[in-house]
Structure 1
Amino acid sequence: MTNDHDLTRRTYLRAAAAGAAMTGAAGCLGGGGGGGSEGNSWRTQELATVPAPGDAALYEPTDQDQTGETINHLTWTGYDASNVQGPFREQFDCQTQLDLFTSNPKAFNRLQSGEWQQFHQATFDMAWIPRLAEAGLIRPIDYEDWKPYTFDQYIDLFKKENGYKYAFVNEDDYTFDIDGTMYGAPQRFGWASFVVNTDNVSEDAYSSYDAAWSDEFEVGIYDLMFWGIQIIMLREGIDPFKEHTEAEVEQVRQATFDLFDNAKTLLPDFASMNQAMKSGEIDIGFISGNWINGTLRRGGNMQFEAVVPEEGSVIWVETTAFVKGDQPTVSDNYLAYMQRGENALKLSWPTSGGTNVVPHQTAWENYNDRQREVLRVDEVRDIIDRSVFYTGIPDLDKFEPIWREAKSRL
């Protein structure tokens, strides 16, 4: 993976300062597959003209009969919420089947082992988009055709013209490249850091990840090696997204052991993390993020905050791609539906699953005061300014044994 972070920290925020107004909402598509081809294995159809905002004719079925079709979507919790899926199913008289996962690597392995045949669309954290493309598991998307339905709808931070590149792949070396081929559409995003009970942990203390290594606080560790190792690297001043030297690996090993030696408990899932925070069992949860503690905040517990200390956080962007193979004719409409601002807003605040911010301008304009506080919408630009975008750990296998050994010490 590339070690290019030119869209992180203050330079990213400055680049995004000037943006264009949002254009019309996404309209009726048809044909299934996003504007490209791979022989005769899937169908395409010219995309319809984008209607003006508020046009009542949005998402009328095309001439091709879509009634009774089913979209199979491999994705995260929240996408399956009734307020997200119900309106699409009703409008198109179609079914949607969502298979939820919690691990990018495991989901990738599922597709690579042959399960790609079971799905039409898949939503991964963006670092996996180049890997999926290189493995031939997803198909390219025509940027010009899809721009009105995707990037024209986004907030300035996610505009291609402002430098957002994490949906575009250089097909020579399969790294992110703003001039590369579009392979996905951003849908939700957030940050990985740690969560603190601000009633028990002072702002001075949580200004650094060092608080999780301090015996002053009760610390719980979420057994999620993949994100935990990245945050440990940030704390140690090590770039997570490059090949690491033996000295750096040893530095991470010692820091990981010290963290576990200081921790009170190991937590198997984010529900356990939230319960331990709410019960007062722990003061700090390592790791966490807005996707984990948003449920607590939505319940009125604003003292629980996924803070971003001076070392920064890791920004992830859930990105939806078309899986290779046959597609139902309604597949394009499904992706465009999910990208519409009012539907993205529902995904940001689903009837089931976690709360997450989305990059869609209409959603940002329509968050109410409570949603803005829970989601910390007004802090997002500063959080991105101080963080790094997740582009993948190329030598993750070096760190998996470290995490396992550290757990045995707890």
Structure 2
Amino acid sequence: MKNAFTTPNRRGLLKGGAATALGAATGAFSALPAAAATPLRYMCWEGYDKSSIIGPFEEKNDASVAIDLITDSAGGFAKLAAGGYRDFDVVSSDSPWIARMGPAGICEYIDDDEFADVYNSFYPQFRAPFAPLQYEGKTTGLPSRWGWVGPTVNTKFDSLETWSSYAPCFDPAYKDKICVLDWGDWPIMPMALHAGIDPYKELDDAELKEIRLVLRALFKNTRALVADLSVAQKGLMDGSFRALIGGGTYATSALRKDGNDHIMSIVPEPKDGLNQGIIWMEATGMLKGSDNPELAKQLVRHVVSPQVAVDLAWTEATCNLVPSQDAENQFSDEQKAVLQMDYMWEAWDKSHFHSVAPNIDDMLAIFQEELAAAE
């Protein structure tokens, strides 16, 4: 796991003033050392570590925040669950893993009443009691960024209507024109939904077999399985790929930020009674046993505040929606367009909310087996 640490605030030493008459007489001068900044340890995705976000918090709270960047949400959780939670105070990760801190017994629960003012600043869809982040009626964290997973399309080559379903993924006319993102479960879930299977419930053998068959068909039409987002984006821009599968808004925003408004991520229409999109979300929570629980609480408040939300939404690598309704008026019209804010609630209504699927290990194994067979 990649580690990075913010530069601590540099504070001048508090120099002693003129010595007292007694001190002067003896030639003694005093120097008062600066009080050490309170340390806080923060595990998070890239973007949350921006100096424009962390710096003001450090300054206001006389704190020094050490950052450990997450490169894999499941791996980050495994590190915490194995005892690493004792080494951190706050974590910002994908919401299913924040929720799982509850049953793992490693989170400090959030008092919804204490954070009532924060919830009031959110869109109604994210206000308490917010089920995706609850465990046994207690809150494991607060939502901080979100978006949706659906086909990412270059409308210079395809119409959005063409991608009102995932059918082109299996159309011979699109052979070698599909890019599947090698991002864990993200390309698997949409294919399961297209096959008429809800991947977020317990699956039987027949349903797992159906997922195997739909992935097999997908790989027959796929030109490339790509883990590097920049490579996938380049192929989408030049038409080598007609669509990216498994990325959605996270794969779209940087291109749209650069003025490519013909790149869009949409959610297909419901099929067989199942929504076809997936809402992903990141959340921020506190770890159990923090040495500085009040300061940890303040960092959570800071991260989800309207003042920070716009900065958190607009990063160099990717741009994402935030749950803060109070922040909406702070976005420029250009930023709103990049984030497809005019489409976000349609996407929400046509999507499932992402959570840890009971059979995810089985589905990941099937994905790898069918990929190997296709090669």
TM-score relative to the length of structure 1: 0.77
Distance between the aligned counterparts of 1:222 and 1:292, measured in 2? 10
1:5-404 correspondence runs (5 A): 68-148=37-117, 150-160=118-128, 164-170=130-136, 180-217=137-174, 218-311=177-270, 312-328=276-292, 329-350=294-315, 352-404=316-368
Deviation at 1:96, TM superposition (A): 2.0
Distance between the aligned counterparts of 2:208 and 2:193, measured in 1? 13
Contact 2:121 2:325 in 1 (8 A): yes
Deviation at 1:306, TM superposition (A): 1.4
SS state at 1:74 partner: strand
1:96-124 deviation digits (Å, cap 9, x = unpaired) = 22222243221111112222122111123
TM-score relative to the length of structure 2: 0.84
Contact 2:95 2:281 in 1 (8 A): yes
Alignment gaps of 5+ in structure 2: 1-33, 271-275
1:181-223 deviation digits (Å, cap 9, x = unpaired) = 1121111111122211111112231110112222323111111
Q: Which amino acid aligns with 1:345?
A: V
Distance 1:91 1:405, change over 3 A: same
Alignment gaps of 5+ in structure 1: 1-64, 171-179
Distance between the aligned counterparts of 2:48 and 2:99, measured in 1? 23
1:296-319 deviation digits (Å, cap 9, x = unpaired) = 110111111111111421112211
Deviation at 1:66, TM superposition (A): 8.8
Deviation at 1:406, TM superposition (A): 2.3
2:371 equivalent to 1:407: yes
Rg: which structure is higher?
2
Runs of 4+ that moved beyond 6 A: none
1:244-298 deviation digits (Å, cap 9, x = unpaired) = 1111111110100111111111112322222222233211111112122211110
Distance between the aligned counterparts of 2:198 and 2:55, measured in 1? 42
Deviation at 1:67, TM superposition (A): 5.5
Deviation at 1:71, TM superposition (A): 2.2
Contact 2:320 2:339 in 1 (8 A): yes
Q: Which amino acid aligns with 1:346?
A: D
Distance between the aligned counterparts of 1:210 and 1:129, measured in 2? 34
Deviation at 1:387, TM superposition (A): 0.8
Greater relative contact order: 1 or 2 (C-alpha under 8 angstroms, separation 6 or more)?
A: 1
Distance between the aligned counterparts of 1:188 and 1:82, measured in 2? 18
SS state at 1:315 partner: strand
Distance between the aligned counterparts of 1:67 and 1:303, measured in 2? 51
SS state at 2:187 partner: helix
SS state at 1:378 partner: coil
Distance 1:95 1:188, change over 3 A: same
